[in-house]
Amino acid sequence: MGSFKGHALPGTLFLLVGVWHIWSSLVRYLSNPKSFRVRVWNPVPGFDGKLKYLELYLVAGGAFIDMCIELLYSTHLKFFVNGVLNPHHMNDFEHGGMLLMFFIFGAVGLLSEKTRLVIYNFSVCGLFFTLLKKY
């Protein structure tokens, strides 16, 4: 992932999700400013609800695939050298950790939306990261 090609695809995905968030927020705000609320993710309208969770699938799926590439392919499965983390692949481990957080976000969002488990506005994730920040 250290090359331009390795950053172009994930960067484009981030850009598309970001533009989608801006567009959705702008449309919702202009349609009804008084009831506008910021959302963590935005459902895709239309298509009889078939693409409603597209954003969450893209985030979770893209993060999982990229995380597998970072941790399995880039490291050549040489995680440890002489009993310590391989210093030549620290950047891959860092990217893998970041991608794990995006995968958890997408997976928890899908779990919350598709099951009876209700995580209101990802409050559990916010609580987790608040507690994590203290330590």
The per-residue pLDDT for range 53-111, each reduced to its tens digit, is 999 999 999 899 988 988 888 877 788 888 888 888 788 888 888 888 889 889 988 88
Q: What is the pLDDT of residue 23?
A: 93
Residue 132's pLDDT is 59
pLDDT in tens, 99-117: 888 898 899 888 888 887 7
Confidence band of 26 (pLDDT split at 50, 70, 90): very high
**Which structure tokens are listed for 104?**
């958890």
**Model pLDDT, residue 30:** 95
Phi, psi of 111 (to 5 degrees): -60, -40
Residue 64: which residues within 8 A CB-CB, separation 6 or more? 99, 103
How high is the pLDDT of residue 57? 93
Q: Please tell me the total number of residues recorded for the chain in this structure.
A: 135
Q: Is the pTM of this model over 0.85?
A: no
CA atoms of 3 and 16, how far apart (whole Å): 20
Residues 128, 130, 131, 135: what is their CA dihedral angle, to the nearest 10 degrees?
A: 130
